[in-house]
Amino acid sequence: MGAAPLKNGKMRHGELPENTLLSFWVALQRGVEGVELDVHLSRDGVPMVIHSSELGEKIPHDINGGPVTGEVQNFTARELKAYALGRGQLIPTLQEALTLSVRFNAQMRGCKPRPIVNIELKKAETAGPTHRVVDEFLKSAQLDVSNIVFCSFKWDALEELRAANPFYRVAPMLKTERIFGADQVIEPDYRVKPGATVLPRLFVEIANQHKRMPFDAIDCVVQDIRPEIIDFCKKRGLGLFTSVSSYRPKIGPLDGVMEVLEDAASKLPFVAFKVDRPDRIVAMRRKNCSIVSRPL
């Protein structure tokens, strides 16, 4: 048992640009148990690793210094490669990101477990093209299916993946309003009102989904975890993927997070904590928790 931290590549405090090959490589070199990456489709159907569908949200300018506007789906993969992310990094394809994971595995030569690659599908239509890319790595035995975990708020996308390969590990993501009800969520930072409780229907929805599509874990932000969610996962034999929401007021790495994850890690098959600065919570490893690097 234990929690596994995932690290995604995001530029913070002048460090590294998120969701780039450089940020993934540095995270793996620092010893995280895995990386999380986000996938959108280009206009020509290539799975691209980028957090937001809106290019201008994360990209300051193109390689010529010009402004950046438009959505990922409106550009071909080649056109998207014209956008600079900083530190000499360009928007990677999913194939490039997985190739990097293979290269890291080869460098380690069995000295440590293969890292988890946690792939978040941003839209339902991403499932098919993403499966085709991943499947090529599995067929060639460059990656093992046990090291790939898919997550998404689009549960139908996960169903499509499981239909394509019943051995895929998947984790449905839970939005805060789905857990507590939209009337209990305070925007724009998605805080939960004091005294809000988990909706009883949530567990019915998850149980019904598990009947249709058996899955391995659920995924929600750490601020939303409640004892009844941990107990539900325990009864179903489910793991837990969790992270700190980028929309919520920032919390210190030890402000209640350790206690929540320690409780979960003592009861569940596995817990993965997705963070963008895993070096800041290294103490968690001394408490039976592991860290995965994620891109925000």
Q: Is residue 89 part of a domain?
A: yes
Q: What is the pLDDT of residue 252?
A: 55
For the cut 90, the answer to whether the pLDDT of residue 42 exceeds it is yes
Tens of pLDDT, residue by residue over 178-222, are: 999 999 999 877 889 999 999 999 999 999 999 999 999 999 998
| Higher-confidence position of 118 and 114 | 118
Output the pTM of the full model: 0.89
Q: What is the pLDDT of residue 14?
A: 46
Nearest to 41 by CA among 80, 7, 87, 84: 80
Q: Is residue 26 part of a domain?
A: yes
* Mean pLDDT computed over 96-110: 89
For the cut 50, the answer to whether the pLDDT of residue 71 exceeds it is yes
115 is in which domain, residue-wise? Answer: 6-293
Q: Is residue 12 part of a domain?
A: yes
**pLDDT over 70 percentage in the chain:** 82
Domain of 94: which CATH number?
A: 3.20.20.190
Q: Is residue 268 part of a domain?
A: yes
Q: Is residue 284 part of a domain?
A: yes
Q: Is residue 1 part of a domain?
A: no
- Total domains in the chain come to 1
Q: What is the pLDDT of residue 289?
A: 55
